[in-house]
């Protein structure tokens, strides 16, 4: 399974990101990031991949994924074949190492710190605990930044740390990805692309950035990711376009240019090649299911 490095935009204004994933189906391939991620599935089912763990997931599924732990959620074919009748609804909470360092500083949060250490293998929480925290989880994406939002997140983590029926997902022998390993160059490359893919970005630009010839860089990238540089960038751009089409009222031309395409025909052709639908068809499907 191909794997991507995702650059998560944690800002100084808030060390925590909370959002709804409301899409036709889960689209992110196997990936990893520096941040911890808590995912609550309100509506969806399929197969969950965390490290070397492969298990089914269903509505009510609640999982905590540790830093640099590869993961993805994939839907059953019925979601993809009938997107208008099977949309995804999931709460995604992400927090970085700065937030974790604050948790580790206070002895009163030792039980949460211990849980975060275990999250390096991924943790699946019991249905009972997930249900008890459902209301708090689903209210977080719409909560205003500030004291009460932070207290709510800490309360959720406190409750999860007390779950005596949670399960570790990845095996004890599974090794998380470390940026200090031989993957350092590819993670730096993916990070650079993630920060610049909405701008004009050429193969020559990226190869020069990492002091490699175009041919050497192309071979290196294909060997590490299983994809060409152009295909990888296009998939990132189309993934962003899907979010904008489903979550904003921006017209298709605006979406195309905002995602890094300078030609509308090329955008339409690339979008259909990756999603099997035109941008207009994709927006209509999403509108009919919301």
Q: pLDDT tens across 248-278, in order?
A: 889 999 999 999 999 999 999 999 988 888 9
pLDDT of 181 reads 47
* Chain segment 179-222, per-residue pLDDT in tens: 444 456 777 787 788 888 888 888 998 999 888 899 989 988 88
Residues 48 and 156 placed together within one structural domain of the fold: yes
User: Same domain, yes or no, for 198 and 239?
Assistant: yes
pLDDT of residue 83: 58
C-alpha distances out from residue 252 to 20, 121, 265, Å = 22, 41, 11
In this prediction, residues 214-232 reach a mean pLDDT of 84
- Distance, in Å, from the CA atom of 111 to the CA atom of 277, rounded to the nearest integer, reads 47
Say if residue 53 is in the same domain as residue 155.
yes
- 33 falls within a domain: yes
Query: Which residue segment(s) compose the domain that 247 sits in?
Result: 184-289
Q: Is residue 177 part of a domain?
A: no
Cβ proximity of 36 and 65 under 8 Å: yes
Query: Are residue 22 and residue 160 in the same domain, yes or no?
Result: yes
In a domain, residue 273? The reply is: yes
Give the mean model confidence (pLDDT) for residues 163-192: 74
Confidence of residue 175 (pLDDT cuts 50, 70, 90): low
- C-beta of residue 55 within 8 angstroms of C-beta of residue 122: no
Least confident of 2-16, 61-75, 152-166: 2-16
Asked if 78 and 196 sit in the same domain, the reply is no
Q: What percent of the chain has pLDDT over 90?
A: 42
Look at residues 201, 185, 255 and name the one whose alpha carbon lies nearest to residue 233. 201
Q: Are residues 207 and 147 in the same domain?
A: no
User: Structurally, how many domains does the chain consist of?
Assistant: 2
Residues 35 and 81 in one domain: yes
Is 262 domain-assigned?
A: yes
Buried b (16+ CB within 10 A) or exposed e, 155-188: ebbeebbebeebebbbeeebeebeeeeebeebbe
For residues 122 and 232, state if they share a domain: no
Question: How far apart are alpha carbons 256 and 185 in whole angstroms?
Answer: 30
The model's pLDDT over 81-125, given as tens digits with 9 standing for 90+, comes to 665 566 789 999 999 888 999 899 999 999 999 999 999 999 999
What is the reported pLDDT for 182?
42
For residue 80, pLDDT beyond 70: no
- Same domain, yes or no, for 140 and 9? yes
Same domain (yes/no): 202, 125: no
């Amino acid at each position: 399974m191909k794997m991507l490095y995702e650059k998560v935009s944690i800002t100084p204004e808030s060390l925590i990101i909370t959002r709804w994933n409301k899409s036709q189906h889960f689209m992110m391939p196997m990936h990893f990031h520096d941040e911890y991620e808590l995912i609550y599935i309100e509506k969806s089912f399929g197969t969950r991949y965390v490290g070397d763990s492969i298990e089914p997931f269903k509505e009510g599924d609640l999982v905590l994924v540790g830093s640099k732990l590869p993961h993805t959620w994939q839907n059953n074919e019925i979601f993809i074949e009938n997107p208008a009748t099977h949309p995804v609804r999931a709460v995604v909470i992400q927090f970085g190492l700065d937030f974790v360092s604050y948790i580790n500083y206070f002895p009163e949060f030792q039980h949460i710190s211990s849980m975060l250490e275990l999250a390096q293998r991924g943790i699946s929480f019991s249905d009972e605990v997930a249900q008890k925290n459902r209301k708090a989880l689903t209210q977080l994406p719409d909560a205003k930044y500030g004291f009460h939002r932070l207290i709510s997140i800490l309360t959720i983590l406190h409750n999860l740390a007390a779950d005596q029926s949670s399960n570790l997902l990845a095996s004890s022998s599974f090794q998380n990805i470390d940026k200090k390993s031989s993957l350092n160059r590819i993670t730096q490359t993916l990070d650079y692309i993630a920060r610049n893919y909405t701008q004009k970005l050429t193969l020559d630009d990226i190869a020069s950035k990492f002091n490699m010839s175009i041919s050497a860089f192309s071979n290196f990238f294909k060997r590490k990711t299983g994809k060409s540089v152009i295909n990888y960038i296009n998939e990132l751009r189309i993934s962003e376009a899907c979010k904008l089409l489903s979550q904003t009222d921006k017209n298709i031309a605006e979406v195309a240019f905002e995602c890094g395409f300078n030609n509308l025909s090329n955008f339409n052709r690339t979008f259909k090649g990756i999603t099997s639908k035109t941008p207009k068809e994709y927006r209509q499907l999403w509108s009919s299911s919301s």
